[in-house]
Structure 1
Amino acid sequence: MKKTIRIGTRDSELALWQANKVKEGLEQLGCSTEIVPVKSVGDIILDKPLYELGITGIFTKTLDVAMISGQIDVAVHSMKDVPTALPHSIVQAAVLPRADAADLLIHKGDLSFFEKSGTIATGSLRRRAQWLHRYPAHKVENLRGNINTRMRKLQDSDWQGAIFAAAGLERISPFEGTNIHPEHRLALDWMIPAPAQGAMLAVALENDTYSRECLAKLNHRETEICTHTERQFLRVLEGGCTAPIGARATITDNEITLTGVLLSPDGKRRHDIKRTVLLEHYTFLGETCAKEILEDGGKETMALMKLSGPLGSDQQVSS
C-alpha cells in the first residue's frame, strides 16, 4: 500500500543533509516523503565526553522510540553511531554508497607541534587512543557538539588542531565565519577509522513492507558488505561503548581486506590485524579477525578496561 514515508532524523545540519539525501533518492523512485526532525539526548548533553555517559546508541534511541511508537516510518543515521544489535522489530533497510571514511586533522597552519608537545581535541575515544599511541607526549582535550560548533571551539581555543571525519566535512562546509582555513587539513592516513565511518544507514520496521521495498532500491551492495564486516569485528570485540576500536574493509577485484585495531584508552596497548580473503568468503571475516585479536592479547586488554570503569565509543554528534 502506497503511503507518504516519514523520514526521522536528528536535527543537526549533517543529519538533515543525510536525511534529505535519502528523501531525494526515494522521490526519484516515485515515493512520497516528508522529513521529521527529532532531537536526541546525545545532541543535548554536550559538556561530557560520550564515553563518560556510558550509553549505547545515544544518537539512535530517540529515533528508535519514535519509529516503534508510529511517529516515523524510516530513520536515517550515520552508520557508525548505530549499535551493532538493532532493537527488536527494527531492521537494516538500506546502506547508501560510502563517502570518504578517513579522519582529518583540521589545524591552524602550524604543524611544528608534531615534533614537541601539543594539544589536539576530539570527542572520540578511538581517535584519542590512536593519537596518544603515535604522539604520547601530546594532550588530547574533549570536543563535543555538531561540526560547526566544534569548528568554532577550535578557533577560540589554544589547541593546535582537532580531528574530524572527512565524510562530514564533504557534506557540509563549516569553515564560513571562522578564521580556520579550509586548506588547513591533513589526512590521517595512519589512523584506522571507526567501523562503518562515512556510511549512511536507513532503518525501518520489520513489518513495514512498503518502506523496506522502497529503501532496498537505494542499497549499495559493496558498502553493505564492507560495513557488515567492520561492524561484525566491532560486535565480537564487544566494542560500541566499551573500547577504542577501528576497522576498515575494502574490496579490490574479487578480494576483501579488513584492517582492524583494538587499543587501550591511553594508547599504550595496541593490537592490529590485517587479513584478505576471497569476496565470497566475507561473511565471517570480521568475526575471525576479532577472535584472532582477542587470542593474541586483546582479551587481557579488554579485561583491564572493564576493571578501570565504563569506557566510551566512537559515536559522535556529527562526524
Structure 2
Amino acid sequence: MRDTIRIGTRDSELALWQAHTVERKLNGLGYKTEIVAVKSTGDLILDIPLYELGITGIFTKTLDIAMIKGEVDIAVHSMKDVPTALPKGIVQAAVLERANADDILVHKGNLDFLNDTGTIATGSLRRQAQWLNRYPHHKVEGLRGNVNTRLQKLKDNDWDGAVFAAAGLERINLLPENHIALDWMIPAPAQGAMVVVAMEDDDFCLEALAKLNHYSTEVSTHIERQFLKKLEGGCTAPIGALATFVDDEIRFEGVLLSIDGKEKLYIEKVMPAGADYSNFGNECAEAILANGGTALMEKIRNDLKK
C-alpha cells in the first residue's frame, strides 16, 4: 500500500498555492502528501513570447516528464495552461471548483487613456487581440513572467496598465486596488480552474483525486477546451471561450480573432443543463469555422510564421 502521494508543481508562488490547496484537500481526506516543486521551460525563458517558443504545454511538459519517470505521482496545473491533448499515459483526474474566470486590467490610478491613446501589456495573443478590437488606437506590449514579476514590470515601465487573470491575483492576495474587471473580454478556455493529472494506471491516485472533482466545472471546462481544440488544430490563436450554468441551461460564449484584433468571430449558444454536452464545444467551433473561421485560422497561421 502506498504511503505518500507526491504532488508535482511549478515553483512559482501561484503554482505552489495551487499545489498546497490540493494537498490540504487530500490531507483532509486522510491521505499523506509531499510537494515536489520543479522549474518549467516557460518559467526560465521570459524574454520570448510564448507563441514564439513553439512548445506545446510549455508550463506542463517538465511535470509530464517527471510523472512518466515516476518522480512525482500527480501534478497540479492552472487548467488554461494544459494542452487539450494530454501525453500518452497521463489523464485528467480532477477539476477543482472554478474561481473567478474574469480578466482584469491593473492600472496606475488614471483611466483617461481608455478614451485616448494608451499602452497596455500582456503576453497573451487572446488578450491582445480582444484589447485591440475594442481599443484599436492603443499599443500592446509583451509581458512575461509569473504574476509577481509581471506586476513589478508594470510598475517599472511607463505602460498605462496590464491585463491579468483575476483568479491568479486573488489566490495569492496580490490584487491591487487599482483594477477594473474586463467583463467584455472572453477568458481563455478553463481560466480560473485548476486541474490535477495522474497516470492512467495509478488506481490509488485516481480514486483519491476523484473525490476532489467538481462536476459543473468539469463540464464547463470540457466544453471550452473542446471548442479550443477544434479551432486550434495545433496552432496558437486568439481564442476565448466560457461556458456557464445559468438556471437550467449551459450558456456558451466563444470568440476567434485575428492577431491585430481587426477581425472577430463570435458565437453565443445555449443548451439544456441536463442534455448530452459531450460534443457541444465541437458544435460551437464548427459554427465559427463555417462562418469564416477556417479562413481566419489560416490567416493566423500565416501571420505567426512572419
Q: Which bin holds the TM-score, normalised by the shorter protein? A: over 0.9
Q: CA deviation at 1:240?
A: 6.2
Q: What are the equivalent positions in structure 2 for 1:1-20 lying under 5 Å apart?
A: 1-20=1-20
1:211 to 193, 205, 216: 205
What TM-score results when the alignment is normalised by the length of structure 2? 0.98
Shift in alpha-carbon separation, 1:310–1:211, aligned structure 2, 3 A: farther
**Root-mean-square deviation (CA), in Å?**
1.2
Q: What is the CA–CA distance in structure 2 between the aligned matches of 1:239 and 1:163, rounded to whole Å? A: 26
Report the equivalent of 2:149: 149
Q: CA deviation at 1:305?
A: 1.5
Shift in alpha-carbon separation, 1:310–1:22, aligned structure 2, 3 A: farther
2:242 to 223, 242, 248: 248
Q: What are the equivalent positions in structure 2 for 1:294-313 lying under 5 Å apart?
A: 294-310=289-305
Q: CA deviation at 1:244?
A: 0.5
Alpha-carbon contact 2:235-2:301 (below 8 Å) kept:
no
Alpha-carbon contact 1:273-1:293 (below 8 Å) kept:
yes
Does residue 259 of the first structure (1) align with residue 259 of the second (2)? no
Q: What is the CA–CA distance in structure 1 between the aligned matches of 2:304 and 2:253, rounded to whole Å? A: 28
Q: Secondary structure at the match of 1:58?
A: coil
| Structure 1, unpaired ranges of 5+ | 176-181, 312-319
Q: What are the equivalent positions in structure 2 for 1:34-49 lying under 5 Å apart?
A: 34-49=34-49
Q: Secondary structure at the match of 2:279?
A: helix
Alpha-carbon contact 1:52-1:310 (below 8 Å) kept:
no
Report the equivalent of 2:114: 114
Q: CA deviation at 1:309?
A: 3.2
Residue deviations 1:143-199, cap 9 Å, x none? 111111111110111000000100001111336xxxxxx221000000000000000
1:274 to 268, 272, 291: 268
Report the equivalent of 1:82: 82
Alpha-carbon contact 1:51-1:310 (below 8 Å) kept:
no
Alpha-carbon contact 2:23-2:33 (below 8 Å) kept:
yes
Residue deviations 1:55-110, cap 9 Å, x none? 11000000000000000000000000000000000000000000000000000010
Q: Secondary structure at the match of 2:276?
A: helix
Alpha-carbon contact 1:242-1:310 (below 8 Å) kept:
no
Report the equivalent of 1:167: 167
Q: Secondary structure at the match of 2:301?
A: helix
| Structure 2, unpaired ranges of 5+ | none
Report the equivalent of 2:280: 285
Q: What is the CA–CA distance in structure 2 between the aligned matches of 1:29 and 1:142, rounded to whole Å? A: 42
Q: What are the equivalent positions in structure 2 for 1:32-71 lying under 5 Å apart?
A: 32-71=32-71
Report the equivalent of 2:216: 222
Q: Which portions of structure 1, spanning 4 or more consecutive aligned residues, are displaced by more than 3 angstroms?
A: none
Q: What is the CA–CA distance in structure 2 between the aligned matches of 1:306 and 1:129, rounded to whole Å? A: 15
Q: CA deviation at 1:51?
A: 1.2
Q: What is the CA–CA distance in structure 2 between the aligned matches of 1:241 and 1:75, rounded to whole Å? A: 25
Q: What is the CA–CA distance in structure 2 between the aligned matches of 1:156 and 1:307, rounded to whole Å? A: 34
Q: CA deviation at 1:241?
A: 4.5
Q: What is the CA–CA distance in structure 2 between the aligned matches of 1:215 and 1:240, rounded to whole Å? A: 29
Alpha-carbon contact 1:78-1:201 (below 8 Å) kept:
yes
Alpha-carbon contact 1:84-1:240 (below 8 Å) kept:
no
What TM-score results when the alignment is normalised by the length of structure 1? 0.94
Shift in alpha-carbon separation, 1:153–1:163, aligned structure 2, 3 A: same
Report the equivalent of 2:23: 23
Q: Secondary structure at the match of 2:244?
A: strand
- Alignment: residue pair count: 305
| Percentage of pairs with the same residue | 65
Alpha-carbon contact 2:89-2:200 (below 8 Å) kept:
yes
Q: CA deviation at 1:310?
A: 4.2
Alpha-carbon contact 1:234-1:240 (below 8 Å) kept:
no
